[in-house]
Amino acid sequence: MPTTGNAIIGQSGGPTSVINASLVGVADAAMKSKKIGRVFGMRFGIEGVLNNFLLDLGAESPATLKALRSTPSSALGSSRLKLQESHFEPILKQLKKYDIRYFFMIGGNDTMDTIHRVVEYANKHGYEMTGVGVPKTVDNDLYGTDHTPGYPSAARYVALSVQQGALLARDMQRVDQFTIFQTVGRSAGWLPAAAACVRQQSSDAPHIILCPEHPFDRGRFLSAVSDVQQKRGFVSIVCGEGITNPDGSPVSASETKDKFDNVEFGAMGGASVGMQLHRMISDEFGWRGEFQVTESLQMCAADRAVKQDVTNAYSCGREAVRLALAGEGGVMVTIERTSKPGAPLEIQHGTAPLSEVANHERPMPANFFTKDGMNVSSKFLDYAKPLIGDLPEYASLTIKRAKAR
């Protein structure tokens, strides 16, 4: 593989509150390497290469890069462009023009596919280039890694939102008998499941958690809602945006798809799943309720970011450069948990082949759910709590009726 050349970095897909830490990790390590000359950034993902819009990251001040480590969203700009065969020749032409020999992208499954295909095309046409992927997705569904940078912070956002919203729902139960909190997550339930980490007792909110791994059963759902409301006076429900009916159709009723043929649950092609569940409950019981759909806020809430998540995102970026310089291309950096379940988080880095990451998703395992599929098990809590960190404990009145003396 080449001993010298320039490097390029791109960000793709949805942002996270720590994706820029990974960007700086790659940039810092690349700039310190004697094998790498200039370090470029793709403006708006792979579209920046196609449109000859590259940024000179070496021209940025050290102070800017340092501050970027704790800045949310995607500083380079993101893209969801699906590569066509006609794209590869102009991409390679641009990479040659800038003498790019090290190719890094930060993203999810589709991003890993982009790296794999671009580097494979370049090498097939006699141009030596090493590509390494850096994991990113709040969905936490990337194959081959214990968790993805960005998930712990997004999970904490969900947990805190549900915890505080549940206090409101409890105290407003004479007005609103139920509340629904909808998370992002196309085909995996890692984010809605994280809400369970706030419970101090088994009876605490959230009472029902709906994840894409289990088909939605309207009858069982409404029965569970009725049972909880009778016992608690209100119902706290958390749902993933991608839950489906038994026939595979989205509960959201959305028919809009993106360029990767993924259903866009937040699109105007259908109501959100939170709205659909709200309508079901209201129609069935005549209750008034609330729903919260935060969409991308959970992807970029830096004020709720987990410090270790930022640290690990940065180290993933640095590890990507180390692998590339060692000639270990065609892989994505992974995070391997070395601590025991439930213990404070300790990790080390590993790798997973880009081709496998691109073609696989990682749903929650069956033993992370309760038997009815509408809640999570203690095994999931052992997995998730060390990622999220400590959560606040709020006070509650004893609610003991006073007697006249």
Terminal-residue alpha carbon distance, the chain:
88
Tokens of 394: 């709020």
User: What is d(CA 126, CA 384) in angstroms, rounded to the nearest whole number?
Assistant: 45
Signed CA dihedral, 219, 221, 223, 225: sign only: negative
Q: Is residue 139 annotated as part of the catalytic site, yes or no?
A: yes
C-alpha distances (whole Å) from 244 to each of 52, 169, 241, 252 are 41, 26, 9, 8
Catalytic residue among 28, 110, 113, 139: 139
Q: In what order do the strands lie in the sheet with 36-42?
A: 54-56, 36-42, 5-11, 100-107, 130-135, 331-337, 347-353
In a 13 Å sphere around the CA of 58, the CA atoms on its Cβ side amount to 13
What whole-number distance in Å separates Cα of residue 54 and Cα of residue 76? 9
User: Residue 39 forms beta bridges with which residues?
Assistant: 7
CA distances to 16, 140, 255 from 149, rounded to whole Å, are 8, 8, 30
Rounded distance between C-alpha atoms, residue 221 and residue 190, angstroms: 20
Active site members: 139
